[in-house]
Structure 1
Amino acid sequence: MSQLEENQIIAFLRLFNSHNVKFMAIVILLLFILQCGGCQNISHPPNVIVAKNGSGNYNTIMAAVFASLNNSIAQYYIQIRQGIYEEYVQIDSWKTSIVFIGEGMDKTIILGNKSYGGGIGTYNIATVGVDGKGFMAQDIAFRNMAGAANFQAVALRASAEFTTFYRCQFDDFQDTIYTHYDKQFYRECIILGTIDFICGDATAIFQSCLIEIRKPLKGQYIAITAQ
Structure 2
Amino acid sequence: MGILLAIIIILFWTAHLLYSLLYVQTSIANPWMWFHMLVQGYLYTGLFITAHDAMHGTVSVNRKINNFLGWLAAFLFAGMWFPRLRRKHMLHHQFPGTEKDPDFNERHQNFWLWWFGFMKNYVTWYQLIIMAVLFNLLAIIFPQPAIFAFWVIPAFLGTLQLFYYGTYVPHRKPHTPDMDIHRTRTQKRNHVKAMLTCYFFGYHHEHHLFPRIPWWRLYQTKEQ
Report if TM-score (shorter chain) is over 0.5: no
Higher strand share: 1
Q: TM-score, normalised by structure 2?
A: 0.27
Higher relative contact order (CA 8 A, sep 6+): 2
